[in-house]
Amino acid sequence: MFFLIVLLSLSLCIIWRYLKSKDKTEPPALSGWLPLIGHGKRFFINGFEFYRSFEKISEECLRKGGVVTLYLGFNKVYCVSDPDDCLTVMNMCLEKSMMIKFAKQFLGNGLFTADVHRWQTSRKLLNPAFNQKILDSFIDIFNNKARELANIFATEIGKPFDHQISLRTKNLETICATSFDVHDSESRNILNQYLPLLATLVIKLSQRLQCFWLHNDFIYSLSSLKRETDEIVKKTKVLCSTMIKKNRIMRLNRASENDATGKPKKFIDLILDLSEETDCFTDEQIREESDTVVVGGHDTSASTLTFAFTLLGSHPHAQQKLYQEIIRVCGTSDKDVEKQDLSKLVYTEAVLKETLRLYPIALLLPRYIDRDVKLKNYTLKANSDCFVMANGLHRHAIWGEDAEQFRPERWLDKDTLPDAKYYAAFGLGRRSCIGRAYALMSMKIVVVHVLRRFSISSDVSKMEVSLSIVSRPERGHSILLKRR
Residue numbers in the known binding site for heme are: 433
Which of 108, 161, 146, 124 is CA-nearest to residue 278?
Answer: 124
Residue 455 and residue 434: Cα distance in Å, rounded?
33
CB atoms within 10 A of CB 360: 23
The candidate with the shortest Cα–Cα distance to 341, out of 445, 411, 446, 452, is 445
Pairing verdict, β 464-468 and 364-369: unpaired
